[in-house]
Amino acid sequence: MKTNLPRRHILRGLGVSLALPGFQSLQTGFAAPKESTPPRRLLCLGNHLGFHPPSFFPKQTGTDYQTSPTLQNIDQHRKDFTVLSHLDHDVGGGHNGVEAFLSGIRKEESSGFPERNISLDQIAAEHSGSATRFPSINAGLGEGTDMCWTRTGVRIPPINNPARLFEALFVQDDGFSRKQQRQRLGEQASILDALNESAKSLHRDLNHTDRDKLDQYLTSIRDVEQRLQMSEIWLDKPKPNPGIDPITDEERQHIEELPLFFDLITLALQTDSTRIATFEIPMGFTVSDLDKVDLGYHGLSHHSKGEGKLAQLKVVEDYIFTQVNRLLNGLQEAQLLDHTLFIMGSGMSDASTHSNKDLPVLLAGGGIKHKGHLDSPHDHHRVPLCNLWLSALQWFGLKRERFGKSTGTFSKLNFS
Amino acid sequence: MFRLAAIAFFGFSSISQATLPKAFLAEHCHQCHGPNKQKADRRFDTLATSIENFEQQELWQDIVDQLNLGEMPPKDKPQPSQTERLDAIKALTNGITTSREKFKGVSQHTTLRRLNKVEYRRTIGDLLGLDVKAWDPSEDFPSEVTHQGFDNNGDQLVTSGLLLKKYLSAAEAAIQRSTHFEEKPESKNYNQKSPFYFQGKESKNLPKLFLTGRFRFVPETPYTDLYGRHYRGGHLGFLPLYKQGGVPHSGQYTIRVRAAAVNRTHTYPNGIITSRNGDPLVLELASVDRRGSVTSAGNVRKMVSLSTHELTETEPKWIEWTGYIEKGYEPEVRFRNGTISAKNLVFKLGRLAQNRPEIKPFLHLKPGNERGHGMLRAYQGPKLRIWEIQVEGPHLSSWPPEGHQLLYNDLTPPDLNKKTIHERLTHFAQKAFRRPPTKGEIKPILALVSGKIDSGTDPLKALQLGFQTILCAPGFLYLKEDEGNLNPNALASRLSYFLWSSMPDDELLQLARSKTLNQPEILRAQVDRMLAHPKAKRFVGNFIRVWLELDNIGRMPPSPDFRNYYRDDLGNAMRIETEHFFSHLLDQNLPLEEFLTANFSFLNRELAKHYGISGIEGTHFRKVTLPNSTRGGILGHGSFLTASANGVDTSPVIRGIYVMDKLLDYTPPPPPDEVPEIEPDVRGAITLRQQLIKHRADPSCAQCHDKFDPAGFALENYDAIGAWRDRYPDKLPVDASGKLDNGKTFDNASNFRQLLATQEKPFTRCLTKKLLTYALGRELNSNDRPTIDFICEEMAQPKKGLQDLIQSIITSETFLKN
């Protein structure tokens, strides 16, 4: 009979001193004294079909720019945001290039990069994830837009049911179900131990490339073990009181769901249920529910400069930005805006040409000194958008030198 | 074949070494592929005199291919003499032949290949005897990484913590579903006569579907009418089973409905009713999962379509269906091809049928029950009339089900102790791993379960934890093929995952055990058996999906503006057409050129109408001789044409590349970075084709574009969902003429198809490579050339067909080795 401790015990016992990758703050999460400055948050909003560039980008640069038709909808916040032009990830692929918005790297090229195509929010989630119940909340309408990617190159499907998000955030599991959950976690942990041993014996039998593949499996085991540990710790902590009525599970139009999600995300940040949230607006966003719109969103975005379609596209983009305005108002009221970096944009600029160049990017809040319309070099010495993402991560608290395809930090904005 | 090369070698004895033709390359190639420029990322001036490693072999192969095809040097540059070219080709070919011996097997190993989503689902289904249509264990798994469209590339498939967590849940659920210690369930009868909507006391707590509303009322008649396709007034729920939470056990059920078709032909003006006047009315039976979901009408968590039935008479008759319904699901009856919805119908009647005497009395009413009900009652258009619904089941032929037998045999919970449990686990592991497990693999699992029992866990629970662990172990999740000749079990698995997308059956495993499976006659006989088996349908469906990248259609679905695509369920119909077509060529072992030239296809009424072919009735698919030359072969298939468009419009470049890549074995290099996008602009009277031609005037662009644009132009008469058009939406005429790279011209798609018919050899090569890639689960490379060449030569013999191709692949050295 074996006498060595199951790995699980060893992991737990050494949790204090062992620097588990990415979860250093596991112990400090709630053993630490209440923080004197509010923690920083990250909120990312991505739209699949871009924003019509002539209507989005203002003509002048600097802080005194005249607002553009699309940005008009959030102009009341102009001191709190920066709109950036001539930034992108130097990838192509049209629709297939949109997935690189928060990572800078397309899935198909990701195996060449040490961190594959992990997205900005997931890097942030690894860093601060254990301090909150949810490392990150990734929500969206419909199928989303492939925006969030894990370290192993797996895409995170967004939560698209507001009732379920409400449940996850605010509905406490009862005592009995918690006991059951704890037991279940224990069972799963034992299974993982057995799988680890079983896989290791197979490992010896394999050739070099097959071993690398099996290593991926072994890494997955470790990954799940860490998640289980986190789940167990959070089991007994009570969930916050939302202060709003429960959201029932029923059929809603996208235009009803969107503001609901924005409210939930604001609440989630406010109650420190998470410090990282993302939201995705897909190609299938049913814009025909809006007044004066009777075509599909994808069809509209193929405007081919036709007047009729452009007019309807404007209705859609105005709607989105009106909602964003409301979101910014909400964040301000909740006194979150100064500590939340709000990133918004798309991995596509003009959907009519399927261009992934010169993406629409907007940065708001975060307590940084905003610069109105900030332009970057057009032809030579272009600045990678990943530089901006790197600066954002550093602002968030990560001590990193690189992210994606970055060549340095984004010097034109002061992020401290 | 190696002998042929050797003879050629000795025939030209002036070249005795297989060395790099340096002088040739310096003169004709270094300008663009040397120190100053590296076009297409290729550089030749730094190559060694002989091949030093596998990457160099690949590059040599690349060079000799371009020379053989006459692609390089580019046509607008000075060309080498015929002798010079041939000498260079010879030297390179000899070099490659020699190095292939040296690098034998390099990059010809499929990496430890994980079961992908489709294969996981099928394997769980086959292993445990579960129907995996309604309950799909892989439903929420992340999507697989695809490589050139293929989602079973061992090297590319990724395992992650996220996926492993899902495996744990899926395995748990699978074991739960397979466990049946209870008594055999009795078959029961359930019955409901009209009405199907309720109000007042009876309606308390019922979902909206069962309630009256603006477009649903309790009729005075002994029947209820359905008016449209969507929920309001178009679907009926079955109350007896709703009240029970769906059917109590998974199994075979019989559903009977007494129904009739009323007013099939109507006299309403155009624009009111979106279905076709005179068509038979289609009744659809579906099973839905309403649990844990919604209170408003129609939003079920999941729906499975069970069957469709055409009705033509006003006299009621019983329609009947027997099939599988998943536990917890409820039946629904729907008017499949009705007008879009009852709500829409009432709205349109109020707007466009104002002069009709039956409608007039309701026009002055405000929108509400009186108006809605009044109009619908008075309406004289198509209605699906339902009197009664009956459900009977489950019909269970054997008990307990085979999955339970596999897990527990005849044991009952009191029989479970460490000994019997270890036996069951070892037995299950052998089945699940598709081979006997090694001691090291199974010991930790047995130890886990013993440990649980020792610490007080219920033995049944402990055993189930063991089963769950086995289903998450690498032995189950991965195909272990090692290197060298495949061992018999690995061969059985590779074979069954190729032709059945799932685990080998007992017959295959028996032959593996007796070590006779790799004998040619036995192997061929097994391939015949497997292709004739119903499971081979999975191969057809799955291969077509990855070959033609049909998942593109899901990612960029046709815009809702293409109304008839959704009304007539064309997406489904197109997929079925291509599956039937491929199956037919397979079953009949027809020559491969039929893919390009067949003058027949498999259509139902809706698809035929979409293609402009009249006279086809019924929603079932049957073989149809195509009447004219606008369709023929796979180029005319809706699936092919929709997958190569983007859901809104077409692009000749995208379609052209698609044709070349899927049919003619040519994948163009990616566009250079500096290419500006083409911006479609409706304001000028200029088509995309005209804009493209301007761009192609530049010879460096034309070099590549001349190869694939023509195919795209030829297909411009087909819109984004494959319908024929003579004009674009903006009224500009379609110009489908073009010139192939070899100089031959064509006026339209049908000419183009005839020219394509002469390309049998490239198509054979293309299909061979696609099938081989799919079968092996890895990318092909220069070491695979001899096998590919050999198979193509075999297929060039007369009377060879699709079955022969598959036999050739399976009996090839490449398939039998790793």
pLDDT-derived band at B486, boundaries 50, 70, 90: very high
pLDDT-derived band at A243, boundaries 50, 70, 90: confident
For the beta carbon of residue B413, count every other beta carbon within 10 angstroms: 12
Is B681–A304 a contact, with Cβ atoms under 8 angstroms apart?
yes
Is B474–A198 a contact, with Cβ atoms under 8 angstroms apart?
yes
The pLDDT value given to residue B740: 85
pLDDT-derived band at B497, boundaries 50, 70, 90: very high
Return the exposure string of A336-367: e unless at least 16 CB atoms fall within 10 Å of the residue's CB, then b: bbebbbbbbbbbbbbbbbbbbbbbbbbbbbbb
Is A195–B440 a contact, with Cβ atoms under 8 angstroms apart?
no
Is B161–A224 a contact, with Cβ atoms under 8 angstroms apart?
yes
Is A227–B161 a contact, with Cβ atoms under 8 angstroms apart?
yes
Give the closest of A213, A226, A353 to B677, CB-based: A353
- 3-class DSSP state of B498: helix
Alpha carbon distance B709, B715 (integer Å): 10
What letter would DSSP give residue B657?
Answer: H
Min mean pLDDT across A231-240, B348-357, B486-495 is at A231-240
Alpha carbon distance A157, B653 (integer Å): 32
Alpha carbon distance A126, A133 (integer Å): 13
Q: Taking CA B662 as the corner, what is the angle to CA B658 and CA B665, rounded to the nearest 5 degrees?
A: 110
Cβ-Cβ contacts under 8 Å between A and B: the total is 184
pLDDT-derived band at A129, boundaries 50, 70, 90: low
- The whole-angstrom distance between A252's CA and the closest CA on chain B is 9
Alpha carbon distance A206, B112 (integer Å): 9
For the beta carbon of residue A279, count every other beta carbon within 10 angstroms: 25
- 3-class DSSP state of B275: coil
Is A305–B560 a contact, with Cβ atoms under 8 angstroms apart?
no
The pLDDT value given to residue A131: 79
- 3-class DSSP state of B726: coil
Chain B partners within 8 Å of A196 (Cβ) = 444
Chain B partners within 8 Å of A150 (Cβ) = 160, 162
Question: Averaged over B93-112, what is the pLDDT?
Answer: 84
Minimum CA–CA partner of B154 in chain A: A213
Q: Please state the length of chain B.
A: 818
Whether residue A33 has pLDDT greater than 50: no
Question: Averaged over A27-37, what is the pLDDT?
Answer: 45
Alpha carbon distance A230, A218 (integer Å): 19
The pLDDT value given to residue A278: 97
pLDDT-derived band at B15, boundaries 50, 70, 90: very low
Is B299–A295 a contact, with Cβ atoms under 8 angstroms apart?
no
- The whole-angstrom distance between A239's CA and the closest CA on chain B is 22
Predicted confidence (pLDDT) per residue in A351-396, tens digit: 999 999 999 999 999 999 999 999 999 988 899 999 999 999 999 9
**Which is it for strands A372-375 and A81-85: parallel, antiparallel or unpaired?**
parallel
Alpha carbon distance A221, A219 (integer Å): 5
Minimum CA–CA partner of A215 in chain B: B159
Give the closest of A210, A221, A296 to B559, CB-based: A296
Give the closest of A210, A220, A250 to B294, CB-based: A250
B161-178 and B459-470 helices cross at what angle (nearest 10)?
130
Whether residue B626 has pLDDT greater than 70: yes
The pLDDT value given to residue B695: 65
Residues 6+ apart with CB under 8 A from B147: B153, B155, B156, B779
Chain B partners within 8 Å of A205 (Cβ) = 438
For the beta carbon of residue A34, count every other beta carbon within 10 angstroms: 5
What is the ipTM, given to two decimal places? 0.84
Predicted confidence (pLDDT) per residue in B175-218, tens digit: 999 999 999 999 999 999 999 999 989 888 888 889 898 889 99
Give the count of alpha carbons within 13 A of B785, CB side only. 19
Return the exposure string of B292-317: e unless at least 16 CB atoms fall within 10 Å of the residue's CB, then b: ebbeebbbbebbbebebbbbeeeebe
- The whole-angstrom distance between A180's CA and the closest CA on chain B is 14
- 3-class DSSP state of B738: strand
Q: Which residue matches tokens 């945001």? A: A81
Whether residue A112 has pLDDT greater than 50: yes
Whether residue B134 has pLDDT greater than 50: yes
- The whole-angstrom distance between B350's CA and the closest CA on chain A is 21
pLDDT-derived band at B49, boundaries 50, 70, 90: confident
Q: A107, A154, A297: which to substitute to probe chain B, counting the most B Cβ within 10 Å?
A: A154
Is A354–B679 a contact, with Cβ atoms under 8 angstroms apart?
no
Q: What is the DSSP string of A14-72?
A: TTTTS--TT-GGGTHHHHSPPPSSPPPEEEEEEETTB--HHHHS-SS-BTTPPPPTTGG
CA A340 to chain centre: 13
Minimum CA–CA partner of A151 in chain B: B160
Whether residue B772 has pLDDT greater than 60: yes
Give the closest of B143, B156, B649 to A302, CB-based: B649
Give the closest of B159, B451, B677 to A354, CB-based: B677
CA quadruple A344, A348, A351, A352: dihedral sign: positive
Minimum CA–CA partner of A96 in chain B: B555
Question: Averaged over B375-391, what is the pLDDT?
Answer: 95
Chain B partners within 8 Å of A156 (Cβ) = 162
Predicted confidence (pLDDT) per residue in A198-214, tens digit: 999 998 888 888 998 99
Closest C-alpha among A234, A129, A131, A135 to residue A181: A234
Predicted confidence (pLDDT) per residue in B73-91, tens digit: 887 788 888 888 888 888 8
Alpha carbon distance A26, A10 (integer Å): 16
Alpha carbon distance A26, B149 (integer Å): 41
